[in-house]
Amino acid sequence: MNVILMGYRCTGKTTTGRRLAERMGRPFYDTDELIERQARRAIFRIVAERGWQAFREAEAAVIRDLAGTDRSIIALGGGAVLDARNVEILKRNGFFVWLDAAAETIAGRMEKDAAGGAERPSLSGKSGPEETRAVMAEREPLYRSLADLVVDTTRIEADGAVEAVLAGLRERTRAGEALKEKEK
């Protein structure tokens, strides 16, 4: 089974995913990084030159490829779960972890990323904090409905998120084993 990390921008999906993969001895894939590598350009350039639809099509193609993997850690772009086809193929062999954080924390992380040179395309045309709150409010019900585990990264660093994911996976494994024993 794959561990699928989902959530809004700057909730720690990539950093947590890399560290989780290292701890579990599994391969790590970041859909945004794969798209950029295949397109040979940054996401903000793809969106500026070809639009969000072209980006979402590239994202769906990458996800179709990754859905065939097993025992991988996959970090999704924040909007990847908006496409029900992406969710359907990943759910077949995936444990969905929603990395969540407070809007203020996310806005601060985005400002820090921007200061470091990272460029993120606007999702709504609104200002950073306003956009963050609006898009998070829109996506939260979907993230919540898909999540097999929720980890709040507002006050924890990536290593804390890794520990929370590992604890959730252990709990799920114990519950599954107990259910199998009960069915015997």
| CB environment 65-83: b (16+ within 10 A), e (fewer) | ebbeeeebbbbbbbbbbee
What local confidence, expressed as pLDDT, does residue 112 receive? 76
Prediction pTM value? 0.89
What is the C-alpha separation between 129 and 24, in angstroms, rounded?
35
**Helix, strand, or coil (residue 157):** coil
Confidence of residue 64 (pLDDT cuts 50, 70, 90): very high
Looking at residue 135, what is its pLDDT?
Answer: 85
Which comes out higher in pLDDT, residue 134 or 28?
Answer: 28
Contact 90, 146 (CB under 8 A): no
pLDDT for the residue 93: 94
Tokens linked to 5: 């990390």
Question: For residue 38, what are the contacts with CB-CB under 8 A and spacing of at least 6?
Answer: 58, 62
Task: Please give the mean pLDDT across all residues of the chain.
Answer: 89
Between these two residues, 181 and 83, which has the higher pLDDT value?
A: 83
77 touches 143 (CB < 8 A): no
CB 9 within 8 A of CB 120: yes
| pLDDT tens, position by position, 154-179 | 999 999 999 999 999 999 887 667 65
Give the model confidence (pLDDT) of 76-129 as tens digits: 999 999 999 999 999 999 999 999 999 889 888 877 766 555 565 545 555 667
Q: What is the CATH number of domain 2-183?
A: 3.40.50.300
| 1-5, 13-17, 136-140, 151-155: range with lowest mean pLDDT | 136-140
51: left (phi > 0), else alpha (psi -120 to 50), else beta? Answer: left
Residue 130 banded pLDDT, cuts 50, 70, 90: confident
Amino acid at 94: G
Which residue in 4, 6, 1 sits closest to 153, CA to CA? 6
How far is residue 5 from each of residues 15, 46, 100, 107, 117, measured CA to CA in Å?
11, 23, 10, 20, 24
